[in-house]
Every structure is written in structure tokens, then in C-alpha cells.
Structure 1
């Protein structure tokens, strides 16, 4: 005992502690971290920096973190004991061991939030950027200091009942990330955000831009590294691969791995410097188009564990292990492969059959199966984050009373969400592209003719002359008068969004102007990479990390597309913002193609491109107006995303996803986790983007004969279910490749798919007062619109893994249907309240799971007791009518509150305080509704209006009626009114 005490005393004397205001720096006696610095950011956030070097580096202003105010001196305390340093703010406390540098976090009441770092909780490795990742010599080159950094890993123990969410948007139908692995990089359909939240009401945001990993810090292994391999006859050493082409000719060979994940390399010195498996080694001369491939044999584990596999695929694929189908048929188009993860429990030394059935989807296709190294359950379920390259370990621990407060802390750090224009909440129509001015204008006119509500129509890519990508010019034979096109859209009360890429053909004047300043990534044209348009054209992407390049990029857009068209473009579709210089390349080569950047190597700045690109457009457009009256709100849609994107009025969509039921289900988990990553506006290509040939052929048959075959029936049902789903997320947008996605091109007007879409489209517009209030809350209250049930019903242990139900705002629980021919589905009703069927108002007690009806035309939607929903008038566009009459539905069973937010809808006057709010309260004990005094004002505000209050109670259900509901009519002139019902 005495010896232990003396050793502790020696340890405490060895540690060095420096304090300066709200910052304390510790030089611990042990552990890899030589320096640890804790900084109080505010009452709920503590920043931690650490390094294995002698000193913390001096760093530039963060790309993701906005400047923070220094906390008041009386808002925190820093205390020292012989064993530790304690940093205490009002709602969070961090304790650092002087002996080891381990950190543990507690809430304001002393409850443990994040257990102490597990084992070697902070680890560092010196990192030097490999030469092959640097790209070209010449131009902007990294300094010697920029070539070096640290690879780091932090790891914390996690209790069994903890769940993790966030990390951006990923496509493996994974929701609760506890025990799972996720590689964090940007790619088409994949968005990575370095923010994770816990159901314990805290979040971790790490300030790093490089490739990262959540979960297992190591790369996936080739199969032969984790298993003994046997061919289908049981001979040890390899699997059997049987390749059969479309003519029936077969080729059989041994396979020691299944790793055909990259396309044919370009013929350049840098591209040929590759790893084993880095280039494709499928049978030479074998035509994959129409082929059938089987990989089979046996795998014998070296250890007993849960094995975590990752499948990379294009074409049709199935996987069987141990005689069980572990991956039912999946599909992706050849040019846009997907990754899917699955787990299998396996015992050491027990041989199990492996069989992969693969039908490539073209002559260039992809297939890979790898496995994570086996780890213990404790290791798998710890909170582990690995970062490939940074100057130091730098993260923020964010706490809150609930997950809304945690996400509010994220936005305190990274910037408030902009208030998006009201029209963005309406319906958007797009297709893979409108090919002419007439196509686009006539499509919008058809919506108006059919009286189908719509706000936004989108001009996707390739409106320019074929060899002029990046010129920002319209091809004159197809778009003879772009100004007239925009005028026509606006005359029909539509909005116009246009696609702009950060990509330029080398022969364009814009490329040459940027390149002259050294602001182009030149690896792609140097390696003679040609894209897929026409004969193929050499191209490059601009360096958005350079402030001068951002200004020039915007000026070029402004001259041709914004001021040059009378400032009438309403929104920007910023495609390929990963940046996607070339599909399906090894990670190291992607880095070589995307740099070096103005700030340093692309290895260090790998993930933040979309953020700085959004900065260019947001500040560019606002700079044109310079705060003048009626400045229109900037709105961007980007295919990638990163921490802080919300401050640039940017929404993200989930990329070029497939058109299958599993792809639709994957968007549910993708959207929920993206929303819980702190960025409130997200959407998807309703109906999927990339289309299976069977659907294309079914539509062609129908066009020729009028015959609806089984594939067309499925296509129409898929589109119907997807549109129903899309009505209950922040952005409501139809898009995709052929078959065309306008609802009349999907199904005739007497078809349930058509009628269902029109119903939900109308409902969306009648919900506009509700939806726009949520948008206002997102800005003023840091609200999240698309809400996993864990956000509102944390404490109900049933909800932490529910990935196919969510709240849209505080009232509506959407329960989409994700399977073909399903006419019912299981729904869990959280226990904290009762629930009403939106359509029938029938009441359901909370705390139970029921199978409910889901007819073709409807998905289940429920309203929580205590909800207040303001329904507005039926409209054809978002600002067609003022909500002079609001049907205010109130759902009895609990007290309720709703704040109605209103402003001018399209400009920035809300930044000057020109908006209004009306607080509405429901007292369940007295069945009384109080409509509070209006606060604030703005131009065009309704001074008087009517509320028709409709009380829904468990004992008197009535069908939803938004035409002429029976209720209590109240004249409202801005002063408080109380009504007893």
C-alpha cells in the first residue's frame, strides 16, 4: 500500500500542467501523448487536442469550425489533484489522468458519459505522404512540413446499451453503428461526416479532413489472410473460379482472393505504381458482358469470432456461407459499384462452404469480398476512430440533455444552418437530363396543366456543347434562348435549378484561365484520362481549397449563368463534389488525381472538398447582391457533404443510387444518419437513379404495345412506394435515368401509382405551414427535420435500432413500405405517448408493436398524442396562396406546443429580424388551445387570419378531411386567443 502511494506521488510530480484561462495543457508522465490540451468552449463543449510530439502544432483556422467566443471566467473551473486534472463546465466535466493522459467525460451531475479511454486509448504514428499520392511535380507543391503529419487512433470503452449514429450517409442499410465498421471517405452515393452521436446524449466531432475509419482501424483483409482456403474439391490453397461467357464457353482457375474492385488502370507512370490487387486481374481476354461467374470452395477460420465482411459489387450478385444465403440478390450498374456489409459467426477450424454467384453488368464490372480482422466483442463495440493524416488529434466533446442539444452543439461549432427558401420544401421534378429547352419548359407546363403541385424544375448536366464541359454555355441548337427558358419557368411560377460541376474540359477558356493561375488538378489530363461523353474528352477539376480559385470559379459561373442570365437561376446543383475525378480507382490514385491542394496534400485534405466548393457559391452569389433589398436566398444541392456544410445553405442528396427495393431501404438509414450528423436538409433520387435493364425493357414494351408486364408492374409499385417515402423527408424530389420520371410517364392517371403520387404531393403542400416552421426552427433552434425515433423517444429501449420509421418534425411518424407487394408492415409505437392514424385518426396505445395495413396507395403514417399540425390551403406552388385559413389539427392525449414560423419565404430579411412567430399551446386537461400573441413582423404578413381548430380524440375518430373539416373557427388578429373545445 505504502509503495503504491509513493509511486502515485512520483507520477503526480512528473506530470507538468500549464493553465491559461479556459485552456489547460498537460504533459502526462505516461502514454503515447506527450501533450494534451483541454479547452472549455462553452457550458456543453470541451475541446481536446493531443500529440505524440513535444509541442502542439500551430494550425490555420479550421475549415469546419467557425470562430468561437471565449467563455466567461465564472462559467468553468479547472482543478488539480495529485492524480488528475478536472475541467468543469456547467454541463460537462473532463478528467485527465496525469499518469497516463487518459480522458474520461461526465455530465454536469457527474454521470459518466464516455468511459475512460480503452487500453491504449490514444495512439499515434508518424506519417509521411507516399510519393505516389502527391500527383504531379510542378505547380502548387506541398511544403516539406505539409508532407508530414500523424496517423492517430482514439478508443473509448462503451457500455452494452450504448448506440452510435451519424458519420454521414452510407449505403449498407446500417443504422445503429455500435459494433460496425465504416470507412469515411467521399464518393458517389457515400458522404462522410466526422461526427458521431450517442444515445447517451453526447457527440464527438473530430477536426480532420483525411480518410478516416470508424470501428476497426485496419484495412479489410483478403480472404486468404483470415481463412484457410479450399477449392470446390476440397484441395487447400485457393477457391475455384468458374467463368462462363454468354456463348457457354467456360474457364476455370484458382482464386486466392476475390478482389476485382478497380477498373483498367490508365497508362501512365503513376498509375502503374500499384499494389498487389490494385489493378484488375480478371481473366485476360474474357468478355464479362452477359457472363456468369461462380466463386466457390471452403473457408476455414483461424479464430472463433463474428466475421465482418464487405462485399463490393456491380451487376447481380449473391453470397452463400455455410449453405445459407447471407447476401440475397443485389444489383448495381457496371459503372457505379456499391459496397454492402454483413456478419457471420464462425468457429475456429470449422470449414464452411463459400459460394458467390455473380453476373457482371457489362464488359467492365466489379466484384470483391474481403473481411475485417477478427476482434473480441469488446473491441468491436468500443468507440474507435482512426484518422490517416492530421497535424494532431483534435476533437470536440459535445453534451446535451437530449440529442437535439447535442446537434445544437455541433452547429455552434460548425455554423448555423441557413434558412432555406420556402419553395425548396415543395416538389422538384428532374430527370437524368432534359435535353432541350422545349423539353424542360413543356414538362413544367404539363404539371400546371394537370394541376399537379410543383415548385422546382432541374436542368441536369450536358446542356453545353459536347466538347465544352465547364464553359457554362448552353448549346444553341438545343437551347436557343436560355433567358427565355428561365422567363417561361418563372411565368409558370416555377423555380429553375441548374447543374454545375467543378470539372472542365482542357480546351475550354475557363480551364485555361484557372490553369494559368495553377488552380487546376492536372493529373487527369496528364494521364490522358478521357470521360464517357462522345469520343471522350480530357478534363480536370479545379482546386476549391484556394480562395482565389473559388472566386474565379464563381465569377465564371456568374458571367454565364447568373448575372449573365439576369440573376434568374434560383438554385445550384453542385454535382460530383467529392470530387469525382475518375470512378473506381484505388484510394491512393484518387488522392493523386485530387491535388495537391493549395492548403497541402490531398491526403490530408481528402474529405472537405464539397465544403470549400459550397463556400465558393454561397459567398459568390451573396457577393453579387451585397445585401441589397430582396436578395434571394442561396440554395445548393451537392452530391457530397462535410461538417459545416449547413452554414452555406447546402443540402445533400444520396447520389446515383440503384433502383431496387434494397436501394430504397438503404436510403432510410442513409437519411437518418445524415440528419443525425447535424446537417438538416437531405434528399434522394426518388425512384433510384441507375435502372435495371428489365425495367427499361418493360417500359419499351409498354410504349410499343400498351402491355403492362410483371416488371413494369413492379417498376410502378417501386416508384409509388418511393414517392410515398419521399413525401416525408426534407427534400421531395424525383430524378433518375430512363424510364422518364414524370408521374404521367410512370403510370396513366387512372393508375394507383399516379393517384397516390398526386395525393401525397397535395398533402405535402397543405403541410407547408408545418414544414416551413420546421425549416425556421432548423435555423433559429438548430432543429433536425428528419428525426430517428431515438431523438424523441430516447429511453424506450425498443427504438434505438429502428431504422425504417422516423419523425418528420414533432408530429408525424412516417413508416414507409420497402418490399414489393407488401400490403402491411410491422410498426412500433413508442411508449411515451399514444398515436393516431393520420388518415383515419384511429387511436393506438404506445408501447407496442402491431402489424398495420399498407395498401398500394398509402404508407402508414401516425401522429403522436399532443401534436399540433397546421394545415394550409391546397396549392400548386409554395407561395401561390397565403395561409389565411389554417386547419389546426390538435391531437388529444398529452399537452402540446407548436410554434408557427413565417417570413417572406425567399429573401434574407429574416437576418434583419423580419419574421414572425405564433406560439400555440394545447392543455389536455381542459381541452383548451391558446394561440399566443404574434411576435415580430415582416412585409406582406397577414394581419388577420382564421384558425379552424379540429380536436382529435381517441373516442371520436374521423377521417382526415382537409377540404372542409368540422372544427372551431377562430378569428385571429395577432393577440392571444384561448379556446376551450
Structure 2
């Protein structure tokens, strides 16, 4: 048990107050001289490994937990030490310091590789010493790897995959791994990190290459001057590399005089590998790219030139066999990107392994969390990094945005049109460039386009009953008053100014970002927002470019140069934490001046711990393509599995192909269907918002009233508001129980093997199985119903057994949604905005066949009273054997609480199909005053 430090055998280890320090042989421990284990909670153990005999223990930015006394034991067993806490056990090899973890029953969780699994090596940045850090873990074939933030490659289970952890537009680095065996690893490091299969990607030239004529050594590169006819080559070249990775690479590598913005390049020939199996090909692209292997089209993607995307392909190659490869690239502008790199199949010993390889740090530092289920593991993550405050209730409603409302009149006209048409709306968003063109960073409205911003905000609040969110960047133009003030105090990064780097606005302006790691700079930035915007009545903050995207599409090395010198220390050691500190400044600033109004931040990037600063993250400037919609499903699921609960996306995608802007009839039909399908999906994510470039994204600008697209978007918008008692209760659970709203199947069905494989469907809360449709023209969908219970179709109430794949109808107007057998789904009144009226009448849909439970959570909606205990719960329990629903006695109180309400009950059963229609005649209607009521199935209440 815990006690004073005590020397062990031959001074090889020392017992400490909260664990043990082991001194392994540095020659067999990857350069580590001391390994420390600390019991943090009953189910959490921290592991640190130092290249010295002592531990530097830098202050963590992500960790906030308060130490607690935990009972634990330490025992020597041969060549090992066994550290036991109530919920987790660690076994440490004395020679190497390698650590393995089991649950209390002895079931393996995850283990450091016992030999050569760790490496800590000296590196130098900014002339200062640091350490590169690498740790390989091993698991088993029954495990799966999830979380790690938000990534856009349509990957759900990261076993055998490679993940780059660095902040970039559409990519969010969260170094938290959730294992299917119910454990988590929180890697406490902020540097550029390669995770998963950490082998270095290789260029195409590492394969045997043959050109179109069979000549060995290269591929045939055909350059066409006409993007519409890429097969008509102006000239050909022998090429063995495709590597236009970063800004300006094309200028260096494309033949001089080739019209990149008008042309196309095709690489063709045969490739040969010395290995059999799935080869990982990672393609980063801007513009259009098509890839064929042996005549089969594997990718047909597009992304706007200024924000490249990536796709990972598993190519099944046979050893020493020629495979025909064709890659066709149509750039989209003069600054386009295309990189093709690959890896051979992983060695057998590495197929169940996972590696964190970080560029810089003071010590190896991670936390292993065990739990009985994934929710307990994520609760452990939030124990370490902070609880997620409750978002205001209005944030659960619909938000309308576009890139961008250019005038005050446009904003007000949009709000008025929503209200005139009866389309529910809670929040309208003012995107960037509301300032004068040359005044970025001032936070001042341009009076020519926004002549009375105060009146606009008053009208949005009072006349249209909407909240107002506004875009704020960490960016400042050189020479404006704010720049001079911040520069004088040393709060700005200087390199972009020294480089005279101009942005894309007008003539181009030189700019930089403020240093969010500087506490004074954070306070100064908040003071600016407070004075210029918050005092006007702004409700929420849209924190764009928070990676920090000082200059888009630069390499990690360039980003480091832009952030040097950094107030926190060596930039390489803090690279990924900028969005965390940026959010911190606004959260702490607003709470300091307005202690009761809930802070709400929407930020384009986040990090481990961002949730404690009321930060929701959106998926950045994604493309408006079907493949991008599909990618959002797994991006949102894995982001949620990373412990940060509030995620959203630009419904419909942000960046738009030129063909949709032109509005030709055939393209308009596809555009409307894409928007409708994406809107259906967007209804069932934590935050519900539409945004994007032209064409405008308001429902009435996408399609005319009465059209299938318009009517389905209106239906799902209204459905979201009907489900508000369910959705806001999920938000309450997220704070009070560390719940996760958007749930990968592995969370709720851990014993179903397919739950580790199927990532294009998910649970929204405990009851709803969501299966988005992401193919143009699809009118049916194959989906999987997890085993262990039956399922009810939401719209018709038809019952299906679980544990099987089914093909279901998916008409234009509806997306497949199923309700779990043994669910209680509460529905409230029809609303135009969340605060329009209280849920004085709630309809309970009870899906029979199994016991069911749900708690209706309520509080003051927009204040922090819930932190002081001002909230209530109404427990709902259904007992299948008794055929009885109990509406339990209400617990808790808050000012303005609804004392009395009506509950309507609709029974849904295997032989009693009933679609989800809150306006339908109820089986039972009963008045509730806070005391327990029991309702027999198909009978009146007692």
C-alpha cells in the first residue's frame, strides 16, 4: 500500500507515496533510466519514463485532475513488479521497465512491447535539447483501436492504420486511444506524433516500376494541356515520384511552362512488390484524382486546391506480380497538391501493435485507464482532462450559417425568412469579414455594411428569437491598432511578418497570430472580444483557424518556424496544444465577467482537454462530395470516442465544385439530393448546423418549397425539435455522467464482433441507430442490426431481429433510423426555437420486448445553476415482465421548473407497430405533478 519511499532489491526500484520507481538497464530499456508508475485513481495508472534518473515533470496543459488517496499494493514476483489498484493492475518487467496492464480479473488490456518497444533519443530544436519519444504497445486480435481525434479517411478501426497527429484544417489531433477491450491510453505529449503503424511512408520509387511500354525504373507521366481531355498528351516524361506535398512544391517540380490550372497529368504503368498482402497507399490530393489498380477504379475524389484531403487505400498486391496502376490528376488551380506514398503489409508481429512516436518531449508520459465499458474509460479521460460543461439548450437546436453574410440586411432577412416559413431556428452565425477589408483582427464591424450592429443583434434576439454566434480568429493584420498594441507587448508571432507573407484578401495583407500560450496575451485577446463584441450581446464564439493556420498547407516544420519563439518553450514540444490554450482564454475570460451565462465555443481544432473549456469542434472546410459526407460519419464517431462529446460538421460540406456553382439542371438535382441526405444525417449529431460556400445553404435557397429536398429537410428539422427532451437529456448525461452522445457501435455492443468493423452507422444516445445514406441515387440501404436485441424502424414501428444485415428502403425523403428494443423515447411539442415554450406535454414512445430506462433531465437551460445542483431528473422505467411503465418521482429542483405536465404514452411492440408521430393519439394520457405514476401496458395508469 502507499507509503514512504523504500529501497527495493539492489536499489533497482523504490516504493513511493503513490506507486513505484524502477531503474531498468538503459541498454535494454530504449534509453530510459527510470520508469515511474503512479496510481491516479482506482482505475488509472500513470506511466512516465525518463532518460535521466530523475523526472523533469513539466506542467501538463491537458491534465487537470486533483490527486486522491487510493489503496494499492506492490508485490515482487520473480523478474517483475505487480502494482494492483482496485480497477487496474500493472506488471512491470524489472530488466526493461516494460509495463503490461490487466483488469482486476486478470484479463489482458494492453501491454508495452517487452523488448525494444520503447525509444527515447536526444534531439535538438531551437538550439535546445529535447527528446524524441516512441512507445509500441501490443494487444490481441480481439482488440480494436479507436479515437485519436478527427480524421477524414473513412477509417473507423485504426488497427493496422497510420494516423498523423498534428492540427490541420479538417484534421484534429487528440492523443487518446480507446481500445475495444475497455481501456484507454492518454498520451501526454503535444508534439507532432505518428500513431498506429508508425513506419515511415515510402515514395513510389521504393516499388519496382515499369512504364507503359514495359521499361523498368519509372512510370509514364503524360502531361495534357486540356483538363477536359487528359488522354491527349502534349508530352510524356519518365517519373518515379508523385510528391507535391506542401505549398509551392508544384512550382519546384512541375515542368516549367506547363499550365497547371488548365491541364492534367496521368501516371501509368506497372508496379511490383516483394510482398503479398494489403499494401497501404496514402494519397493526399487537391483537385480531382482518380486511381485504378488492374483496371478497377478505387478512388474518384475531389478537394479544393487550397485545402487538400487524403485517402487511404488498401491495395491487394501479390509478391513479384505486375499490377497495372493508373493515377489521373486534374489540378484545381496553380497551388495544388498530390502525394502518393505507400507501406508494405505489416510484419505478423506488428499486426496487433500500436505505436505513439512523438517528435519532441521532456519525458515519455501516458495514462492507462481501465473500465467495465467504454463509458467508464471515457469518464476516466474526463477525470484526467476535465468535465465537459453543459452546452446551452439553444445550442441543441438548428444553426444557420453561410460563407458568408456580407451585410446586416442579409443577416436579418435570413432570420425573417426562417420565421416567415415556419422553419425552426435557434442560432444565426456571422462568419468572417464583417470588418473592413484591411482591418482583420480589429473585431470592429464595417459600418458601411453593418451600419448598426447593436440594432441587428437586438432584432435577432428580440424580434426573431435567435442567438448570435460570431467568427473570431487569432489573426491580426500588420499595422492596425490591435497589432500595434499586441506587438508592443510581445504577444504576436513575428515570423510571418518577417517573411512578408500576404494572405488571399484583396491585394493581400501581411498578418500574424497571437501567442495563445502567453497568459497575458490570452487575457488581452479576451479583453478585445469583450469590449468590441461581448458587450454588444454576442452569445457564442466561432473560433476559426485555431490550429493555428497562420499560413495554410505548410509543413509541420514551417508551422514550427512560424510559432518560434514561443512563450511556453520549444515550439516543437507544444505544437498541437494551440487550440486548447486559445479556447482557454475565451472560456476563462467570459466566465470571469459573466459567471452565470454558459460559454459556448465552436472551434476548428481541439486537443485533449478542450471539452473543459466548453469547446465544440467542427470538421473544418470539408468538400461537398458524397465521399466527404461518408468520411464525416467515422470522423464524428472517432472524435466522440476520443472523449470530447460535442462535435459537428458543415451540413452539405463547405467547399463546392464549380459544376454546382453553375447550376446546370443535372448537377442541381444531385446538389439538392446531396444536401438533403447530409441534412438527414446532420439531424442526429450532437450539434445541428448548416454552413458552406455558394450555393447558399438555407433550406429555401437549396430547393423550392414542395420539392422532395425542401420537404425532407423541413421534416428532419422539425423532428430534431420534437426530440429535444431526449437530446437535452443526453447533454445532461454528458456532464453529470460523462456520457457520449454520438456512439460508435463498439461502445454499446462490445461483444458483437461486427461492432469493431462497421463505422458507417452509430448510436445517437442509447436508443437510436443511425445509418446515413451517402450515395447519389440510392433508394435502399444495407445496414447491420447489432445482436442481442431486436430493433424497431422509427418511421413505421416494424420490428426486426438483431444480429443480421438487412436491406431496407431508403427513399429520398427518409434515412434509415432504428430504435433499440427496450427503449423509451421522449418527444416534446413542436417548436420554432428551443425556448419558445416548455415541454408541458411529453409523449413517451415505449419500445417493448426488453426492460427499458431513461431519465428526462431539465435545468435552467442557459446558466451554470446546474453546477450548484439546480437541475431535475424524472426517471422512466419500463418492466417487460410486468408490462409496466413507471414515471418516477422527480428528483431535484431549479427556478422556473415546470411543476405539472402531461405525459402521453404510446406502446410499440413486435405485434403492435407504431411509427414515431408525437401528434398521434396516445394509448394513455396522464397528469404528472412530480410523484410516481405507474402505467400498465395498453391500460390506464394507476
* Range class of TM-score, shorter chain: over 0.9
- Correspondence list, 1:99-114, <5 A: 99-114=95-110
Q: For residue 432 of structure 1, what is the aligned residue in structure 2?
A: 403
Unaligned runs of 5+ in 2: 1-7, 938-942
Q: Distance in 1 between matches of 2:214 and 2:260?
A: 27
2:226 is aligned with 1:246: yes
Q: For residue 260 of structure 1, what is the aligned residue in structure 2?
A: 244
Shift of 1:306: 3.0
Q: Check 1:443–1:338 CA distance in 2 against 1; reply closer, same or farther (3 A cut).
A: same
2:835 is aligned with 1:865: no
* 2:79/2:94 contact within 8 Å kept: yes
Shift of 1:53: 2.5
- Correspondence list, 1:730-809, <5 A: 730-809=686-765
Q: Distance in 1 between matches of 2:106 and 2:920?
A: 54
Q: For residue 89 of structure 1, what is the aligned residue in structure 2?
A: 85
What is the CA deviation profile of residues 357-412 of structure 1, one whole-angstrom value per residue up to 9, with x for unaligned ones?
Answer: 11111222111111135531431431211111111110000010000000000000
Q: Distance in 1 between matches of 2:735 and 2:689?
A: 22
Shift of 1:45: 0.4
Q: Distance in 1 between matches of 2:349 and 2:113?
A: 13
Provide the secondary structure at the position in 2 that maps to 1:672: helix
2:7 is aligned with 1:38: no
Shift of 1:99: 1.8
Q: For residue 140 of structure 1, what is the aligned residue in structure 2?
A: none
Provide the secondary structure at the position in 1 that maps to 2:704: coil
Q: For residue 221 of structure 1, what is the aligned residue in structure 2?
A: 202
Q: Distance in 2 between matches of 1:91 and 1:947?
A: 41
What TM-score comes out, normalization by structure 1 length?
0.92
Shift of 1:279: 7.1
* 1:15/1:28 contact within 8 Å kept: no
Q: For residue 945 of structure 1, what is the aligned residue in structure 2?
A: 901
Please point out which of 481, 502, 507 is paired with 1:535. Answer: 507
Please point out which of 300, 306, 322 is paired with 1:335. Answer: 306
Shift of 1:118: 5.0
Shift of 1:979: 1.6
2:145 is aligned with 1:164: yes
Q: Distance in 2 between matches of 1:658 and 1:311?
A: 16
Q: Distance in 2 between matches of 1:303 and 1:815?
A: 37
Provide the secondary structure at the position in 1 that maps to 2:117: strand
Shift of 1:249: 7.1
Q: Structure 1 stretch 677-686 or stretch 331-340: which is displaced more?
A: 331-340
Unaligned runs of 5+ in 1: 1-11, 135-143, 265-276, 702-708
* 1:871/1:886 contact within 8 Å kept: yes
Q: How many equivalent pairs are there?
A: 922
Q: Distance in 1 between matches of 2:918 and 2:603?
A: 35
Q: Distance in 2 between matches of 1:840 and 1:742?
A: 29
2:439 is aligned with 1:474: no
- Correspondence list, 1:905-920, <5 A: 905-920=861-876
Shift of 1:115: 3.8
Q: For residue 849 of structure 1, what is the aligned residue in structure 2?
A: 805
2:621 is aligned with 1:692: no
Q: Structure 1 stretch 237-246 or stretch 455-464: which is displaced more?
A: 237-246
Q: Distance in 2 between matches of 1:530 and 1:301?
A: 44
Q: For residue 559 of structure 1, what is the aligned residue in structure 2?
A: 531
Shift of 1:413: 0.3
Q: Distance in 2 between matches of 1:381 and 1:695?
A: 44
* 1:263/1:280 contact within 8 Å kept: no
Q: For residue 827 of structure 1, what is the aligned residue in structure 2?
A: 783
Q: Check 1:282–1:106 CA distance in 2 against 1; reply closer, same or farther (3 A cut).
A: same
Please point out which of 713, 728, 735 is paired with 2:669. Answer: 713
2:531 is aligned with 1:550: no
* 2:109/2:139 contact within 8 Å kept: no
Q: For residue 295 of structure 2, what is the aligned residue in structure 1?
A: 323
- Correspondence list, 1:604-619, <5 A: 604-619=573-588
2:418 is aligned with 1:447: yes
Q: Structure 1 stretch 650-659 or stretch 113-122: which is displaced more?
A: 113-122
Provide the secondary structure at the position in 2 that maps to 1:435: coil
Q: For residue 65 of structure 2, what is the aligned residue in structure 1?
A: 67
Q: Structure 1 stretch 408-417 or stretch 80-89: which is displaced more?
A: 80-89
Provide the secondary structure at the position in 1 that maps to 2:670: helix
Provide the secondary structure at the position in 1 that maps to 2:176: strand
Q: For residue 639 of structure 1, what is the aligned residue in structure 2?
A: 604
Q: Distance in 1 between matches of 2:292 and 2:157?
A: 25
Q: Distance in 2 between matches of 1:862 and 1:312?
A: 36
Q: Distance in 2 between matches of 1:26 and 1:588?
A: 36
What is the CA deviation profile of residues 701-737 of structure 1, one whole-angstrom value per residue up to 9, with x for unaligned ones?
Answer: 5xxxxxxx11111000000000000001001100000
2:187 is aligned with 1:203: no
Q: For residue 347 of structure 2, what is the aligned residue in structure 1?
A: 376
Q: Check 1:282–1:753 CA distance in 2 against 1; reply closer, same or farther (3 A cut).
A: same
Q: For residue 271 of structure 1, what is the aligned residue in structure 2?
A: none
Shift of 1:600: 1.2
Q: For residue 57 of structure 1, what is the aligned residue in structure 2?
A: 56
* 2:23/2:53 contact within 8 Å kept: no
Shift of 1:961: 2.1
Q: Distance in 1 between matches of 2:273 and 2:58?
A: 46
* 1:175/1:801 contact within 8 Å kept: yes
Provide the secondary structure at the position in 1 that maps to 2:458: helix
2:622 is aligned with 1:666: no
Q: For residue 269 of structure 1, what is the aligned residue in structure 2?
A: none
Q: For residue 515 of structure 1, what is the aligned residue in structure 2?
A: 487
2:472 is aligned with 1:503: no
Q: Distance in 2 between matches of 1:919 and 1:969?
A: 17
* 1:525/1:539 contact within 8 Å kept: yes
Provide the secondary structure at the position in 1 that maps to 2:728: helix
Provide the secondary structure at the position in 1 that maps to 2:778: coil
Please point out which of 643, 654, 661 is paired with 1:678. Answer: 643
Shift of 1:162: 1.1
Shift of 1:305: 4.7
* 1:262/1:280 contact within 8 Å kept: no
Shift of 1:15: 6.0
- Correspondence list, 1:890-969, <5 A: 890-969=846-925
Provide the secondary structure at the position in 2 that maps to 1:119: coil
* 1:216/1:372 contact within 8 Å kept: no
Q: Distance in 2 between matches of 1:548 and 1:85?
A: 46
Q: Distance in 2 between matches of 1:278 and 1:67?
A: 47
Provide the secondary structure at the position in 1 that maps to 2:414: helix
Q: Distance in 2 between matches of 1:508 and 1:930?
A: 64
Q: Distance in 2 between matches of 1:646 and 1:694?
A: 38
What is the CA deviation profile of residues 905-945 of structure 1, one whole-angstrom value per residue up to 9, with x for unaligned ones?
Answer: 01111111111111111001111111111111111101111
* 2:755/2:786 contact within 8 Å kept: yes
Q: Structure 1 stretch 572-581 or stretch 830-839: which is displaced more?
A: 830-839
* 2:435/2:443 contact within 8 Å kept: yes
* 1:105/1:114 contact within 8 Å kept: yes
Q: Distance in 2 between matches of 1:15 and 1:233?
A: 69
Q: For residue 270 of structure 1, what is the aligned residue in structure 2?
A: none
Shift of 1:417: 0.4
- Correspondence list, 1:593-608, <5 A: 593-608=562-577
Q: Distance in 1 between matches of 2:888 and 2:910?
A: 26
Q: For residue 418 of structure 1, what is the aligned residue in structure 2?
A: 389
Q: Distance in 2 between matches of 1:957 and 1:964?
A: 13
Q: For residue 175 of structure 1, what is the aligned residue in structure 2?
A: 156
Provide the secondary structure at the position in 2 that maps to 1:875: coil
Provide the secondary structure at the position in 2 that maps to 1:120: coil
Q: Distance in 1 between matches of 2:562 and 2:582?
A: 17
* 1:470/1:501 contact within 8 Å kept: yes
Q: Check 1:757–1:18 CA distance in 2 against 1; reply closer, same or farther (3 A cut).
A: same
* 1:221/1:373 contact within 8 Å kept: no
Shift of 1:68: 2.1
